[in-house]
Structure formats: C-alpha cells, structure tokens
Copies of this chain bind each other. A is one copy, B any other.
Amino acid sequence: MTAGKRYASSTDVARLAGVSQSAVSRTFTPGGSVSAETRRKVMAAADALGFRPSIIPQIMLTNRSGLVAVIVGGLRNAFYGAVLERFATRLRDAGHQVLLVPVESDYTLDTVLEELRSYRVDAIVSGLAVLSQEVADALSAFRIPIVSCNTSVTSDWVASVDSDNRGAGRAAADWLHRCGGTRFAFLAGPEESPASRDRLDGFRAGLAALGLEPPRVINGDYTYDSGQAAVSRLFADGPADAMFCANDLVALGAMDRIRNGLGLRIPEDVMVIGYDDIPSAAWESYRLSTFDQDPEGLVVQALDLVREMSEQGPARGRVRVVEARFIPRGSTRQPMA
C-alpha cells in the first residue's frame, strides 16, 4: 500500500484560517451560507495551501463515483476513435469522468470488471465488437447499467444500441442491383461479430427479395489487410462485380487490391460499398460509397440508455436502433433509371 503525498485538507485550511472545518466545507459548497468575512479568510488560506476539496469522501457518502467506464477493443479503426471522442466529450459535459478500458479478450474483461466494480463505476459503455449472450448475462449480475454498442445482446442490466445493420444490408443490395451489379459478394468481419452478421443477413435478404443469387462470403477481421486478402481469395474463385464490405477499412483494402492487384477499375468493373464513413472513405483516392453510422446518434442513444437504466433499474430488452444513412460516392456507378 504505497502512500502518496498528503493533500491539504479542509481541516488544514480551517486551522490556518482560524475557522471551523465546516466553514471551509460551506465555502466550497455552492449556495453554502458563509459571511463575506469568513469566505475571504477561507479562500486566502485555501490559496496559500493549494487546497481543492477531494471528491473521494463524497463518493463514499453518495455511492456515486461519477465514473463511467468505456470499454474499447482496438482503436486502430478510426471509427472507434470518433465514437470514443464523442462519448468522452458528452460524458464530461454531463458531469461524468471517463474511465478508458482497452480490452483484448474476454479473459481480460473478467479481470477488468472486478476493478471497475471496486471503483464503483456508475455505468459501463461497451464498444466491444464481439460480446456474447453469456458474457452479457454475467455482466448483468453486477447490477450496474451497461450499454453495449453494435452487438444486439441484452440482459436485465445490459441494454444495446445498434446501427440499423439489416436495413443497411438491404439498402446495399438494392443499390448495387440498381447500379447494374450481377455477381455479389460480402466481405465479412469476424464470424462472431453480430454487426457483421446482421449486415450480411440484410444483404442476403435484400438480394433474395430481388430474386437474385445469394452473395459469396469471405470472412476477415475488419482490417485493411483482411480486405486485400479477401479480394484475392474471392477472385481466385471467380469474379464479382458488386461487393458490400463489413466496414470501411475492409472496403479500402479491397479497393486497393482490386485496382492495383487485379488491374480492374472501380466502379466500372467492380463496385464497392463500405460501412462507417470513416474520414479516409471520403479521400479523393477512394471516394468510397458507404453508410454513415451516425456516431452522434449512437452516442446520444447510448447515454440516454445509461440515464434510463440508472433511474429505472433493470428491465429486459432495452434496444435502440440508429439509422444508417447511405452516402453514394465514386466507388459505385449511377443507378439506372
């Protein structure tokens, strides 16, 4: 138990100012009743001592730490950076502190959760791409409000915010068909990723509704490299001219391989659609058609769920869906009239 340096306490300030400790506390409490004279003496002493009230005892008294944990799994993807930044900003505006928790595996998650519990975090927001129902149920046992982004699992204390993955999948199918696509493919994320699965489900449903063949599917891991590899594997098995990708990074890797590796043109020979609308998607070298996941809406809904759960306690099936907006750019052709 290494000890840190002792901070000036309200008692120290009181002694120096020649007033009671209560007076100091009141001085620093908005609306506290203190005479101008007392306040002056207290402030002078506080300045001299560099005093700032600690929030720690308050936490003990109120059982509210003001801490909200945000769990992320890999910040390589710029989309998570954007979402994380929004979470952090909004949480702070709402008077919370943000505990950043990077997690690599479910194993790490267990360890980490115990720590979060001992810090008495008020809520947990999870941006984990992969979260199983089992883990969600285990989490629920802690009776702490948890919001899971883009995983669809819920439990008593676990709510979920989803992008409209299925709807986007259908829209992608529609669009690619209207633009003249005939041989469809889906470059997936990890098999366990609910978001990737839902996007694929929607894509399949959309193609089926149009009476078209189901897409060929290549699995990957949401990275640029996996997009490149997926294209190689895909074309080794036969050509495709309309692909929907589980996210933008995969799509960008795919585009580069299609153009530089296969020597095909985009969108003339192959059309590509991504997901997320990360900044690079708009860059001139790519002009990737993609879905704006509305990170702002995602964050707003997530925080609203946190609030709702804190106030109302446990309940099953809390799910919010955020619309995804299609942004047509140069990686798809114009739809035919």
Stoichiometry, copies per complex: 2
Bound complex: CA of A63 vs CA of B284, how far in Å? 53
Contact at A70–B100, with CB atoms within 8 Å? yes
Q: Which of A19-27, A111-119, A203-211 contacts B (4 or more CB under 8 A)?
A: A111-119
> Which residue of the partner chain B has the closest CB to A111?
B92
A64-B119 contact given A74-B85, A78-B76, A81-B78, CB 8 Å threshold: no
- Please pick, from B74, B100, B115, B284, the residue contacting A100 in the complex, using a CB distance under 8 A: B100
Q: Report the minimum CB–CB distance from A50 to chain B (whole Å).
A: 7
Contact at A279–B58, with CB atoms within 8 Å? no
Contact at A256–B279, with CB atoms within 8 Å? no
Contact at B57–A60, with CB atoms within 8 Å? yes
Bound complex: CA of A7 vs CA of B117, how far in Å? 10
Q: Report the minimum CB–CB distance from A105 to chain B (whole Å).
A: 12
Q: Report the minimum CB–CB distance from A299 to chain B (whole Å).
A: 12
Residues in chain B near residue A72, CB distance under 8 A: 85
A3-B88 contact given A75-B81, A280-B280, A285-B286, CB 8 Å threshold: no
Q: Report the minimum CB–CB distance from A155 to chain B (whole Å).
A: 15
Bound complex: CA of A279 vs CA of B225, how far in Å? 10
Given contacts A53-B118, A76-B82, A92-B101, 18 further A-B contacts (CB under 8 A): A4-B65, A4-B120, A4-B122, A5-B143, A50-B143, A52-B117, A56-B56, A57-B60, A70-B100, A72-B85, A74-B85, A75-B82, A76-B85, A76-B279, A88-B100, A88-B101, A89-B102, A253-B283
